[in-house]
C-alpha cells in the first residue's frame, strides 16, 4: 500500500451548506442571544503551583528493551506542492530496540508507530522543543501516574522528561499524544500523535504489510498550505474543532493502494472532535476484530460503526478476491449526533461560524482503497479469539449505588458534575481504593434541575476517556435519547471488549466496570473532544 501519493481530497460541502442555511437563519436570533453570554466564560484558572522545569530523569536500574528519544519540535513539511506546511512532530532517535520496531510515517506529521510486545520495558526520553509546555500521554496503557502524562508533569521548552514503563496491557492498538493543560487540542492538531501497538501472537491474522494503521483526522488548510485552528474562537471551542478536509495517517491522502489480500486495519480516530460513522461503500459489513483494549472474543459484524475521538477499532477487510482496479471507499455515513447548541439545534454549527468544517453527522468519503494487480496473502476470518471474562457486577463495592458522573453544559462551560479541571484537585467523589472494583455511571445531561433555558439547550456528544486502565461497558441506557438521533447510530456500538474511551451521546447513560489495581495516585478522566477537554471538561480521580 502506498500511503504517500499526494492526492488531494476536498469534501463536498455544498449540499450541507444548502441544507443548513434554513436552519441557520431560523436560529440566527437565538444565536445572537447566545453570543452575548460568551464573554462571561471563564478561561483563566489558577496556575498549578508546580515547577514545569522539573522533568523525570533516567532510572539506571531500569533496563529497557526499547530506548528511544522522542523530540517534539516544529518543522516544515512538504504536504502539498508549493509552500511547506508548518507542523509539530515527534522526531524519533532510536538508542536501543530489541525485538521491537519504531516505524516512521514518511512525509507525515504523525508518528512514529511503535510495535512492542507485552512484558517489554520501554524508555522514552521526551525532549520538548515546542514553544509551549508539553507532556506525553500513553493513551490506553496501564502504567503508573508519573508515566501516564498527567498535565502536572508537563515540561517547558528545552527540558526532558523520561518515561519508563513495562508494557503490561493486552496486545492491542494504543496511541500517544500531548496532554498539557488547556493546550492539548492545538498541539494534537498541529501534528503530535503516534500509534503504540502491542503485538499479539495470532498467526491467523494479517501481519506485516497487511497490518496497517489508519489514523483518521480532519484539518483545515489555508491558501498558503498552513493549518488553521481557531483556538480563540469561543464558538469553535464550545463545539470542538471540525475540519473540512480528511487526512489519513497525516497525509491529505485519499487513495490507498491495496493488494489482493486480507487486511487488518488499525483505525484510530485521532481527530480533535469529529465523530465517524464508518462503513464500506461496497455494502459489506464492517467486521470488527478489536477495540481500544485489543481483540474481541470473536469478530463482530456491523452495518456501520461509530468511532469517537480517541477510540480505536480493528477492522478485517478482505480484498483477496477483488478485481484489479476495484475501488472501495471507507466512508463516514450521515447521522444525527443529537446535539443542540441552542434553540432547535445547529445554531452554532461549525459550518456557519468562523469558517470551520461541517458538523458532526454530515456524511463523506474518508479514503479510497484501490485494488492493484498484486496478489497477497489471503486469510480466513477466525471464529474466535481469546475469551474476555466479564467483570461481575457483584464484584463491585458499589454495585447498588454506582458513582455518577454527569457531563453537561453549565453557563456556557462544559462540566463534569458541575466542576472543571483543577490541576491537583480531587473531590471526595473522585477517590477510590486500590484493589477494588467499582461501577461508574456516566450521564450526558444535567440532573434536570438546571438553571434555565440555555443550560438545558446545550447538548453535545462527549467521548469519555479514563486514564490508567481499561474497563468494560456493562450497560448503555438510551431511554433518555431522542429517537431521531438513536435510530441513526444504534447499530454502531461494539461493547464486548475492553475500552478506555466510549461515546456518550446526548441523553445516553453508560455504566462501566473498573478494577483499580497496581498503582496508587492521580489520573485524569475527561471528554476526548479536545476543545472540551481544554475548556476544563476534565477531572482527577485518585487511587488511594
Among the listed residues 314, 371, 223, 241, the one whose alpha carbon sits nearest the alpha carbon of residue 497: 314
- From the list 196, 128, 142, the residue with the least C-alpha distance to 500 is 142
Say how many Å lie between the first and final Cα of the chain, rounded.
Answer: 48
Residue 315, strand partner residues: 265, 288
Q: Which of 532, 535, 539, 543 binds Cu ion (CB under 5 A)?
A: 532
Q: Given the C-alpha cell 482527577, which residue does it identify?
A: 540
Nearer to Cu ion by Cβ, of 458 and 514: the residue is: 458
CB of 236 to Cu ion, least distance (A): 14
Residue 142 or 532: the one with the smaller Cβ distance to Cu ion is 532
3-state secondary structure 266-287: EEEECCCCCCEEEEECCCCCEE
Nearer to Cu ion, 472 or 501 (CB): 501
List strand residue ranges (DSSP E) for 47-112, in order: 66-77, 85-97, 101-103
Query: Please, what is the minimum distance in Å from the beta carbon of residue 529 to Cu ion?
Result: 4
Q: Exposure pattern of 51-63 as b/e (b: 16+ CB <10 Å)? A: ebeebbeeeeeee
- The 10 Å Cβ neighbour count of residue 365 is 15
- The correct pick among 134, 187, 501, 529 for binding Cu ion (CB under 5 A) is 529
Residue 341 belongs to what H/E stretch?
Answer: strand 340-341
Q: Nearest approach, Cβ of 240 to Cu ion (angstroms)? A: 7
Segment near Cu ion (CB under 5 A), from 95-103, 365-373, 485-493, 526-534? 526-534
To the nearest whole angstrom, how small is the minimum distance from the Cβ of residue 407 to Cu ion? 7
Q: What are phi and psi of 465, to 5 degrees?
A: -130, 130
Q: Which positions from 255 through 274 interact with Cu ion, judged by CB under 5 A?
A: none
In the list 278, 457, 474, 527, the residue contacting Cu ion (rule: CB under 5 A) is: 527
Distance CA 348, CA 353 (A): 6
Closest distance between Cu ion and the C-beta of residue 129, in Å?
Answer: 30
Minimum CB–partner distance for residue 436 and Cu ion (Å)? 28
Count of residues interacting with Cu ion (CB under 5 A): 4
| CA dihedral (155, 160, 166, 168) positive or negative | positive
C-alpha cell at 124: 522514552
Cα–Cα distance measured from residue 466 to residue 430, given in angstroms and rounded to the nearest whole number:
12
Query: What single-letter DSSP state applies at residue 392?
Result: P
Residue 65: which residues within 8 A CB-CB, separation 6 or more?
A: 96, 97, 98, 99, 100, 116, 120, 121, 122
Closest CB 473 distance from Cu ion, rounded Å: 18
Find the shortest distance in angstroms from Cβ 526 to Cu ion: 8
Look up residue 519 and give its DSSP letter. -
Closer CB to Cu ion, 249 or 529, in the complex: 529
Give, as ranges, the residues between 422 and 481 that touch Cu ion (CB under 5 A): 462
- Show the binding pattern over residues 478-517: x = contacts Cu ion (CB under 5 A), - = does not: ----------------------------------------
Binding mask 20-49 for Cu ion (x = CB under 5 A): ------------------------------
In terms of CB distance, is 254 or 529 closer to Cu ion?
Answer: 529
Nearer to Cu ion, 169 or 409 (CB): 409
Q: Which range in 102-110, 190-198, 199-207, 523-531 contacts Cu ion by CB under 5 A?
A: 523-531
Residues that bind Cu ion (CB under 5 A): 462, 527, 529, 532
Amino acid at each position: 500500500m502506498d500511503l504517500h501519493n499526494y492526492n488531494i481530497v476536498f469534501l463536498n460541502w455544498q449540499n450541507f451548506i444548502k441544507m443548513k442555511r434554513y436552519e441557520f437563519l431560523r436560529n440566527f436570533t437565538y444565536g445572537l442571544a447566545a453570543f452575548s453570554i460568551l464573554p462571561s466564560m471563564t478561561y483563566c484558572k489558577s496556575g498549578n503551583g508546580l515547577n514545569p522545569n522539573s522533568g523525570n530523569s533516567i532510572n539506571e536500574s531500569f533496563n529497557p528493551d526499547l530506548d528511544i528519544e522522542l523530540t517534539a519540535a516544529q518543522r516544515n513539511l512538504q504536504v502539498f506542492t508549493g509552500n511547506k506546511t508548518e507542523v509539530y512532530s515527534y522526531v524519533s532517535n532510536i538508542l536501543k530496540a530489541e525485538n521491537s520496531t519504531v516505524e516512521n510515517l514518511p512525509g507525515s506529521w504523525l508518528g512514529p508507530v511503535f510495535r512492542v510486545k507485552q512484558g517489554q520495558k520501554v524508555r522514552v526520553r521526551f525532549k520538548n522543543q515546542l514553544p509551549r509546555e508539553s507532556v506525553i500521554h500513553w493513551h490506553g496503557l496501564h502504567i503508573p501516574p508519573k508515566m501516564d502524562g498527567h498535565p502536572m508533569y508537563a515540561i517547558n521548552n528545552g527540558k526532558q522528561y523520561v518515561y519508563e514503563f513495562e508494557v503490561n496491557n493486552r496486545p492491542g492498538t494504543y496511541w500517544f499524544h500531548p496532554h498539557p493543560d488547556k493546550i492539548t487540542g492545538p498541539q494534537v492538531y498541529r501534528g503530535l500523535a503516534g500509534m503504540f501497538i502491542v503485538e499479539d501472537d495470532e498467526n491467523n491474522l494479517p501481519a506485516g504489510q497487511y497490518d496497517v494503521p489508519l489514523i483518521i483526522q480532519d484539518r483545515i488548510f489555508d491558501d498558503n498550505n498552513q493549518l488553521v485552528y481557531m483556538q480563540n474562537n469561543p464558538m469553535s471551542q464550545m463545539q470542538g474543532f471540525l475540519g473540512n478536509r480528511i487526512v489519513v495517517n497525516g497525509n491529505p491522502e485519499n487513495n490507498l493502494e491495496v493488494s489482493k489480500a486480507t487486511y487488518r486495519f488499525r483505525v484510530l480516530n485521532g481527530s480533535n472532535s469529529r465523530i465517524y460513522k464508518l462503513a464500506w461503500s461496497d455494502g459489506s459489513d464492517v467486521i470488527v476484530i478489536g477495540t481500544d483494549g485489543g481483540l474481541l472474543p470473536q469478530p463482530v459484524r456491523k452495518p456501520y460503526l461509530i468511532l469517537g475521538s480517541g477510540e480505536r477499532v480493528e477492522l478485517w477487510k478482505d480484498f483477496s478476491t477483488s478485481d484489479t482496479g476495484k475501488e472501495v471507499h471507507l466512508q463516514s455515513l450521515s447521522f444525527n449526533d443529537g446535539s443542540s447548541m441552542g434553540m432547535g439545534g445547529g445554531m452554532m454549527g461549525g459550518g456557519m461560524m468562523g469558517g470551520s468544517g461541517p458538523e458532526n453527522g454530515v456524511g463523506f468519503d474518508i479514503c479510497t482503497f484501490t485494488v492493484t494487480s498484486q496478489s497477497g496473502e489471503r486469510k480466513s476470518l477466525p471464529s474466535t479469539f481469546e475469551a474476555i471474562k466479564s467483570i461481575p457486577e457483584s464484584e463491585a463495592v458499589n454495585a447498588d449505588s454506582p458513582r455518577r458522573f454527569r457531563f453537561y453544559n453549565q453557563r456556557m462551560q462544559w462540566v463534569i458534575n458541575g466542576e472543571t479541571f483543577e490541576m491537583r484537585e480531587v473531590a471526595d467523589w473522585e477517590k477510590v481504593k486500590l484493589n477494588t472494583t467499582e461501577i461508574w455511571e456516566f450521564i450526558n445531561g444535567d440532573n434536570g434541575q438546571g438553571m434555565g433555558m440555555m443550560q438545558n439547550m446545550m447538548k453535545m456528544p462527549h467521548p469519555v476517556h479514563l486514564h490508567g486502565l481499561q474497563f468494560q461497558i456493562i450497560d448503555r441506557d438510551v431511554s433518555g435519547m431522542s429517537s431521531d438521533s438513536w435510530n441513526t447510530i444504534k447499530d454502531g456500538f461494539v461493547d464486548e471488549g475492553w475500552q478506555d474511551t466510549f461515546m456518550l451521546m446526548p441523553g445516553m447513560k453508560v455504566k462501566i466496570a473498573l478494577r483499580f489495581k497496581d498503582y496508587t495516585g492521580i489520573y485524569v478522566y475527561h471528554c476526548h473532544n479536545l476543545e472540551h477537554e481544554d475548556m476544563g471538561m476534565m477531572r482527577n480521580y485518585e487511587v488511594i
